[in-house]
Amino acid sequence: MVRILIVDDSAFMRNTLSRMIADDPELEVVGIARDGIEAIEKVALLKPDIVTLDVEMPRMNGIEALKQIMATNPVPVLMVSSLTNEGAQATLEALEIGAVDFIPKNLSDLSVNIVKIRDILIEKIKTIGKMGLKIRKTPLVSRPIKMPTKPTEYTSHSKTGIVCIGSSTGGPKALQTIITALPKDFPVPIIIAQHMPPNFTGPFASRLNQISEVEVKEGEHGETLEKGVVYIAPGRGHMGVERKRITTTTIHITEGKGDYIYKPSVDELMTTAVKHYSGQVFGVILTGLGNDGEKGMREIKNKGGRTIAESEDTCVVYGMPKAVVLAGLADKVVPLDEIAGEIINAV
């Protein structure tokens, strides 16, 4: 049984979350709190397995409460965030402080997709609540690169023309660890699909850009890929690439969600990259729920590219990498602090 504390100043949101959770026999709401002060008290008293924590609340907001919870009674926290630029900035700050993931504040308004939203929420709560908290502090400055202990024996020895990375829950911290370790003169483009809603991917790219040697930006439809630039797929749709000429590849943004559960889709990003770079794609799958990226990594392998997956020991959630590993699609399983070294070696 996973025990949940719901923290929100809105009675409507508390009731909505409670109703979503109540139908599952493996979940139990053990308490509610209306602000950050109550949250701190009830985390200490009830010792829940996981907390859903609103950002904006009276008396004490979610950010301040999170700081105290992580300092005194660390527990997995899902932030409940509004889908605004301000909400994105606060949520990204919360992820840096120690929150595991977030759910959208306006999920109750999306009646058309309520079943999918509920399923994703339940999956996050169950997986993270049962797993417990993995505390990994990531500094906001670049650090020495830890190179692999031994060379990777890849099944392909094709030259890398592009690096393609997929991530979800726990991904922002993992990406920060990798991207801040790359040199300014990195010789190929890097494209990333991190599961995030609109208004989040732009601020996330800006934060990474401020602390990295390489340029990091949100991908824009029609722009040309440049070496040494990291492109974050925008959350409003799916990002892919198109080869315009032999030496020119551009970004293509598709607004429609299609058959993909998660947005932006890792599978879509990787499969389009394979079409235009064939055996030159270096694929990386990081921490996250579900199996998005399994299809894309299969395409990379089938076309002669190279692949690595983050190891279970360093994953916040060992879902996406596990799917790739079990399918036999990873040339190597690598702890997070060695992934940047593997990428540098590959180019």
| Per-residue pLDDT tens over the stretch 326-339 | 999 999 999 999 99
Q: How many C-alpha atoms does 76 have within 13 Å on its Cβ side?
A: 23
- Given the residues 168, 212, 265, 311, the one annotated as active site: 168
194 and 254 co-located in one domain = yes
| Within-domain flag for 143 | no
Q: For 79-126, how does the pLDDT look when each residue is reduced to its tens digit (9 = 90+)?
A: 988 766 777 888 899 998 999 998 877 654 445 455 667 777 888 899
Tokens found for residue 251: 């970004």
**Rounded CA separation 229/236 (Å):** 21
Q: List all residues 6 or more positions away from 19 whose beta carbon is below 8 Å from its beta carbon.
A: none
- Given the residues 35, 292, 311, 331, the one annotated as active site: 292
67 and 183 co-located in one domain = no
Q: With the C-alpha atoms ordered 132, 137, 142, 147, is the resulting torsion angle positive or negative?
A: negative
| Within-domain flag for 192 | yes
**Rounded CA separation 215/231 (Å):** 9
| Within-domain flag for 141 | no
- Could you tell me the residue range of the domain that residue 95 belongs to? 2-131
CB atoms under 10 Å from CB of 175, counted, come to 26
- In this prediction, residue 336 carries a pLDDT of 96
168 flagged as catalytic: yes
- Taking Cα atoms as reference points, which of 157, 211, 224, 218 lies closest to residue 182? 211
178 and 237 co-located in one domain = yes
| Within-domain flag for 151 | no
121 and 179 co-located in one domain = no
| CA distance from start to end of the chain | 46
Q: List all residues 6 or more positions away from 281 whose beta carbon is below 8 Å from its beta carbon.
A: 160, 161, 162, 163, 164, 270, 273, 274, 300, 303, 305, 306
- Provide the whole-model pTM: 0.87
| Within-domain flag for 227 | yes
- In this prediction, residue 105 carries a pLDDT of 73
Q: For 44-85, how does the pLDDT look when each residue is reduced to its tens digit (9 = 90+)?
A: 999 999 999 998 899 999 999 999 999 999 999 999 887 667
Q: Domain tally for the chain?
A: 2
- Given the residues 54, 142, 195, 331, the one annotated as active site: 195
Give average pLDDT by consecutive 10-residue segment, the chain, 347 residues. Answer: 94 88 91 96 96 92 95 93 77 91 67 64 88 56 51 63 95 95 95 91 94 96 94 91 79 73 88 91 95 96 95 93 96 95 92
